[in-house]
Structure 1
Amino acid sequence: MCAIAGLFHPTSTRLPDTGLLRGMAHALRHRGPDGEGFWAEAGLAFAHRRLAIVDLAGGAQPMASDDGAVVLTFNGEIYNHLALRRELEALGHRFQTRSDTEAILHGWRAWGLGVLDRLNGMFAFALWDRDRGQLLLARDRLGEKPLHYARLPDGGVAFASEIGGLLAIPGLSRAIDPTAVDDYLALGYVPDPNTIHAAIKRLPAAHFLLLRRGETRIPAPLRYWQAPRAVAAAPAQAAEELAERLQAAVEARLMSDVPLGCFLSGGLDSSAIAALSARAGHPLDSFTIGFPGAADERAEAAMLAARLGGTHHAEMVDSDPIAAARQQGAIFGEPFGDPSAVPTLAVCRLARKHVTVALSGDGGDEIFAGYRRYRWHQMAEAVRRFIPARIRGSVIGGVARAYPKLDRAPRWLRAKTTLTEISLDSAMGYYGTVCRMADRQRRGLMSRALRTAVDGHDPAARFAALMGECDPDEPLLQAQYADLHTYLPGDILTKVDRTSMAVSLEVRPPLLDHDLVAWGLALPASLKLHGGQGKHVLRGAMTPFLPAEVMRRPKRGFANPLGQVLRTHAGVVRDRLLGDAMLDSGLFDAAALGLLVDQHESGRFDHAQPLWHLLVLEGFLSGVDRAALAGFAPRPMALAG
């Protein structure tokens, strides 16, 4: 795992500013503490920060071909690099190292853009081909590794693994994108291809960008891989086939020249990874954390680890979520509202004390329908198909609008969300289940200037477009497909990458092997949702390898219980949300912010989620230059001395 950065001036014959490049690399040093490397030539410069995992002696980067005409800076792991190496050697290529990086370098010369189709792994890289005059930026199929880029004031292009690498460039606009603020408040993250800064873009998963010498225009990124959009016939022995596929994916990710472990909770996904690693003859060190007052899975994890033969490490972590909210901007480079980032960072810190690489169970919920919202979406869709749209909109929608919002009532009385979802069409109904702050609530918190700036923007539109690309008779696949392009790369994988890289830990999720993902998504819904429970086929696949109690255990959250903490410390929350960072930004209405805190403190409403998102945003804004908010700030800004 590493960090990459670079500068490209397509019409220049001069060396780029290498001092600037070193500053970009320094901002990314946490991702690669084991070394750094640089390459510079006319109009181009690459930087690399290395976390050494494979070929510790010979894998230094940037890596160049023998003649220096092709240069690569790469972040990630290519799990099939040995098979690619054999194929390339048969074509006459001669390798100088054992590094997976070199397989990409030779693969480009042999197959051009076709090399992307052959790579099995997680990656973000930049490759310069001097003879062709082309700079290729590429990102893996699921979005496990990040890559950001920006147009420079002088017409050049810069790229970096994280936003912070680009913010090290003086003169690059820091202006806040108002639609990104709207997206963040709605979803808890800024979805690709945007970032919180209007000038900085994120290369979407499964896309590449090809820049050419002499051309100053940045073309639109192009997709090289497509997830299934229709359901295939069910395999004859689906559970058995899944077990074989997942075993192969796990074994491929055991490739390492440094200590390797795994995250282990009491849940099915991480337990499956640990069990299959042990079955492959590699019982791994495992890592679990617990939080006071939250679901504590340390005991269950310890029992499974003892059964599998690995050394188990567990800690109880007592964190301050309000203080943690202020740290998210520094970790993620922009507002990131998933509160489970706090325990994820804690378990990464624990793991890094013992290993350099950890396997995770991420992806199982998205691929095999583990989220509760998938079951609700299936049920709501069944009702929609039974009741005409006119009646749903007028009658059920009317009831939903009149029904009180009973946040503190027993679950069976909190029907407003369900009624609202049923009254809407399929895409808008599903968007309602993933939306963290409803449109009316968001707009009510915004200043007039921000409302004007986001007028016409609808965070739900991307969900409607994505779900519209799938078979309309497969509502579960539609929801999974939407998550695969939004929630998975924007929330889950961003969370794992930034928190692990903050402590220089590499994380590998075997369930996100792209062939396994394509196979799993295309399974019929009955193999994923069965008897009111998700992951049906995964449970069948793991029955021979895991104890029955793991199979029966319900899914638990991985986050602190925020509601009571924010209620107990409402005074601190109010001070933060009505402090200078928020009010000087010009983005919010002070009275509306105060009312939100008051309602939560009263106990009649549960606003924990929006309050956490706002606290995270406050922490981010406290570190933003006021000039980035010049279009919104209501107060005169002091001039720098």
Structure 2
Amino acid sequence: MCGIAGIFHLETAKPVDPDRIRLMTDTLAHRGPDGSGVWTAQGVGLGHRRLSIIDLETGAQPMATPDGKLVTVFNGEIYNYRALRLELQAQGHVFQTDSDTEVILHGWRQWGPLCIEHFDGMFAFALYDDDAKTLYLGRDRLGVKPLYYAEVSDGSLIFASELKGLLAHPLLRRRPSEQAVEDFLAFGYVPDDACFVAGIKKLPAGHYLMTRRGLPLAEPRSYWDVAFAPKRRKAEAAEEELASLMGDAVRSRMIADVPLGAFLSGGVDSSSVVAFMAEASRGAVETCSIGFDQADLDETAYADQIAERFATNHRKRIVAADDFALIDTLVSGFDEPFADASALPTYRVCELAREKVTVSLSGDGADEIFAGYRRHVFHAGEERARTLLPAAVRQPVFGTLGSLYPKLDWAPQFLRAKSTFQSLGRTGAEAYADSVGVTGSALRQSLYSDTMRAALQGHRAEDRYIRMMESAPAEDGLAAAQYADLKIWLPGDILTKVDRMSMAVSLEAREPLLDHRLVEFAATLPLKQRVRGGTGKWLMKQAMRRYLPEDILFRRKMGFVTPISAWFRGPLAGEADRLVSSTALAETEWFDRQAIKRIVDAHKSGREEHGRLIWQLMMLDRSLQHVFGAGR
């Protein structure tokens, strides 16, 4: 894994100062502590920080062809590079190294802009073609690896693996985006179609951007998408095909010239990855897990069970559930405000893994592609009700019930019907857009000042989910929700979290369950092979019965949990109080201070539950200080 950065003059070939490139890549040293390189020519400069994984001796970057006409910098891995190398050699290409990076150069020369369709992996890369005076930026299909870019006042395009790389450029204008703040408060992260710093963009997953000097900056082009179109197949045949695809995906991601292991939580996904790794390994698999000192948050017993079953070299560490000392580390790692509190244990498990390995496989992605979240199960049930009841009946009846029924967060699950009634009174897209959020639109509006409402110009975070679901290439409502999750939630939250936290400790994380062939297969599954009998990931769990015990396959999903609500009634109560007088938040003029005070007071007293919202406001406050120097 690596960090990349660069500058490309769009209009005229002005000289590029290599020290400016170096300044950008130095901010990414955590992504690549093993080496660095800078290459410049008239009108272009590329920089690289290297974490050595494959071809440790000759894989240095920036990498050029022998004639110097093509130069690339690359972050990630191309898992099929050996097969591509053979294919290209058969076409007459001569290789100088054994690295996957060189495949990009020869792939471009052979296939041009569509070379990216041949690459199976996780990646973000830049390639400069001197003959065509063209810069090409590409990002992997699912968005595992990030890439930020922006135009600056001297007529150049700048890009980097992380926002901090662009922030190091002296000509970048720093102004916060109010729309991105609305998005962050709605979802807890800034989606890929937005950025905390106005004017900066992220190359979308499954897209490339190709721009030529002398022409206006081009728009990104899509090279991959997935359509959810069910195919009829017997469950037994589907299970066999799924197991085969999963095994192939895991094996392809075990290629490395450095120590390799896996995260093991004891859940279905990570346990499945470890099962296939153990099957493919000659020696014991290195695994690690993080536990908590609160029994109701701790899953290490399940991880121990899997480690014993597959005879792994397992290590675990128990950390305090109140591990909020990492807050500043999170703020620095993400740059943009990020409020998924599971980032704390994610950092700790990456830190533990890095003590023994340089590459670690994770189980991320299975919930999105196989419908494993509880919200997927609920949405599938609600969609059945919407099919049975016409909107003319459903909307007035359930809309009224939803408005009248009390909000009983303290009550047993079966009595908490308010959100269900409200959901059934809406379209599927509207209801699902609300379910994936963490702070509802009405509550956000109650916090905003008139200045903020005017700046938003009608922008509402949930609308992107609604638009995505309404236009999704999907044949049922659950599939439309999964498609939107793949495009918004997965790259914006899950993959951002894993990338930044693993890279913060110079660890490469790989996600075999996001192999694009596996994603394409999952998109063909009928509804009943995704959700059945109130169980999500139905087919995956059936396919894994031969490997995993029942209590692992069918136990209630936990995930990484942190007790943030209790923090703000205890050790972080002072931090909550400070939000009311925060200079950084006040300088923006976005919020009504009295509204924030009411939220804080109501939460601390126990009258209402606002722990996640207070966490969001605190992370926003810290990010404003970190990125813009606000409040200083």
Q: Same fold by TM (over 0.5)? A: yes
Pair 1:154 & 2:157 matched: no
The aligned residue for residue 99 of structure 1 is 99
Distance 1:536 1:547 in 2: 15
Distance 2:347 2:190 in 1: 20
For residues 443-522 of structure 1, what are the structure 2 equivalents within 5 Å?
A: 443-470=445-472, 473-522=475-524
For residues 280-295 of structure 1, what are the structure 2 equivalents within 5 Å?
A: 280-282=280-282, 283-293=284-294, 294-295=296-297
Once the two structures are TM-superposed, the CA of residue 233 in structure 1 deviates from its matched residue by 2.7
Pair 1:169 & 2:172 matched: no
The aligned residue for residue 410 of structure 2 is 408
Pair 1:583 & 2:586 matched: yes
Q: Residues 577, 125 of structure 1: CA spacing in aligned structure 2 closer, same or farther, 3 A cutoff?
A: farther
Distance 1:333 1:571 in 2: 24
Counterpart residue type for residue 438 of structure 2: R
* Structure 2 contact 228–475 (Cα < 8 Å) conserved: no
Tell me how many residue pairs correspond in the alignment.
628
* Structure 1 contact 180–190 (Cα < 8 Å) conserved: yes
Distance 2:29 2:509 in 1: 17
Pair 1:263 & 2:233 matched: no
- Residues 11-47 of structure 1: CA deviation (Å, up to 9, x unaligned): 3333202111110010010000000011100100000
Q: Residues 517, 160 of structure 1: CA spacing in aligned structure 2 closer, same or farther, 3 A cutoff?
A: same
- Residues 357-402 of structure 1: CA deviation (Å, up to 9, x unaligned): 0000001101111100011101111122222223333221122122
- Residues 455-508 of structure 1: CA deviation (Å, up to 9, x unaligned): 311212211221122356411111100000000000000000000000000000
The aligned residue for residue 442 of structure 1 is 444
- Residues 315-372 of structure 1: CA deviation (Å, up to 9, x unaligned): 0111545544444321101101111111100100000011000000001101111100
Counterpart residue type for residue 536 of structure 2: G
Pair 1:208 & 2:200 matched: no
- Residues 384-424 of structure 1: CA deviation (Å, up to 9, x unaligned): 22222233332211221222222222222222211111111
* Structure 2 contact 227–473 (Cα < 8 Å) conserved: no
Gaps of 5+ in 2: none
Counterpart residue type for residue 150 of structure 2: A
- Residues 56-105 of structure 1: CA deviation (Å, up to 9, x unaligned): 00100010011000001000000000000000000000111110001111
For residues 17-96 of structure 1, what are the structure 2 equivalents within 5 Å?
A: 17-96=17-96
- Residues 122-162 of structure 1: CA deviation (Å, up to 9, x unaligned): 00000011111211001000000000001011111000000
Aligned to 1:587, what secondary structure does the other structure show? coil
Q: Residues 408, 578 of structure 1: CA spacing in aligned structure 2 closer, same or farther, 3 A cutoff?
A: farther
Distance 2:74 2:111 in 1: 18
For residues 107-118 of structure 1, what are the structure 2 equivalents within 5 Å?
A: 107-118=107-118
The aligned residue for residue 573 of structure 1 is 576
The aligned residue for residue 632 of structure 1 is none
The aligned residue for residue 182 of structure 1 is 182
Aligned to 1:486, what secondary structure does the other structure show? helix
* Structure 1 contact 260–356 (Cα < 8 Å) conserved: yes
Counterpart residue type for residue 598 of structure 2: L
- Residues 211-255 of structure 1: CA deviation (Å, up to 9, x unaligned): 10212x222111000111322333560111111110000000000
* Structure 1 vs Structure 2 CA RMSD: 1.6
Distance 2:523 2:228 in 1: 8
Distance 1:328 1:391 in 2: 48
Q: Name whichever of 290-299 and 164-173 sits farther off.
A: 290-299
* Structure 2 contact 32–506 (Cα < 8 Å) conserved: yes
Once the two structures are TM-superposed, the CA of residue 522 in structure 1 deviates from its matched residue by 1.9
Once the two structures are TM-superposed, the CA of residue 620 in structure 1 deviates from its matched residue by 0.9
* Structure 1 contact 585–626 (Cα < 8 Å) conserved: no
The aligned residue for residue 623 of structure 1 is 626
Counterpart residue type for residue 517 of structure 1: V
The aligned residue for residue 610 of structure 1 is 613
* Structure 1 contact 164–333 (Cα < 8 Å) conserved: yes
Pair 1:218 & 2:217 matched: yes
Once the two structures are TM-superposed, the CA of residue 624 in structure 1 deviates from its matched residue by 4.0
Aligned to 2:48, what secondary structure does the other structure show? strand
Aligned to 1:623, what secondary structure does the other structure show? helix
Distance 1:428 1:474 in 2: 15
Counterpart residue type for residue 280 of structure 2: A
Equivalent in 550, 557, 563 of residue 565 of structure 2? 563
Counterpart residue type for residue 178 of structure 2: P
The aligned residue for residue 382 of structure 2 is 380
Counterpart residue type for residue 4 of structure 1: I
* Structure 2 contact 322–563 (Cα < 8 Å) conserved: no
Q: Name whichever of 135-144 and 583-592 sits farther off.
A: 583-592
Q: Residues 231, 444 of structure 1: CA spacing in aligned structure 2 closer, same or farther, 3 A cutoff?
A: same
Counterpart residue type for residue 377 of structure 1: H
Once the two structures are TM-superposed, the CA of residue 305 in structure 1 deviates from its matched residue by 1.0
Q: Name whichever of 573-582 and 115-124 sits farther off.
A: 573-582
The aligned residue for residue 370 of structure 2 is 368
Distance 2:11 2:618 in 1: 44
Q: Name whichever of 608-617 and 399-408 sits farther off.
A: 399-408
Distance 1:183 1:169 in 2: 26
Counterpart residue type for residue 226 of structure 1: D
Aligned to 1:374, what secondary structure does the other structure show? helix
Aligned to 1:408, what secondary structure does the other structure show? coil
Counterpart residue type for residue 291 of structure 1: F
Distance 2:355 2:133 in 1: 44
Counterpart residue type for residue 313 of structure 2: T
- Residues 574-621 of structure 1: CA deviation (Å, up to 9, x unaligned): 123432222233121110001111111222321122111111111112
For residues 594-605 of structure 1, what are the structure 2 equivalents within 5 Å?
A: 594-605=597-608
Counterpart residue type for residue 219 of structure 1: A
Counterpart residue type for residue 300 of structure 2: R
Q: Name whichever of 117-126 and 542-551 sits farther off.
A: 542-551
* Structure 1 contact 3–75 (Cα < 8 Å) conserved: yes
Pair 1:276 & 2:276 matched: yes
Aligned to 1:4, what secondary structure does the other structure show? strand
Distance 1:598 1:586 in 2: 21
* Structure 2 contact 25–165 (Cα < 8 Å) conserved: yes
The aligned residue for residue 143 of structure 1 is 143
* Structure 1 contact 151–158 (Cα < 8 Å) conserved: yes
* Structure 1 contact 4–47 (Cα < 8 Å) conserved: yes
Counterpart residue type for residue 359 of structure 1: L
Pair 1:242 & 2:246 matched: no
Q: Name whichever of 244-253 and 451-460 sits farther off.
A: 451-460
Counterpart residue type for residue 277 of structure 1: M
Once the two structures are TM-superposed, the CA of residue 556 in structure 1 deviates from its matched residue by 0.9
Task: Output the TM-score relative to the length of structure 2.
Answer: 0.97
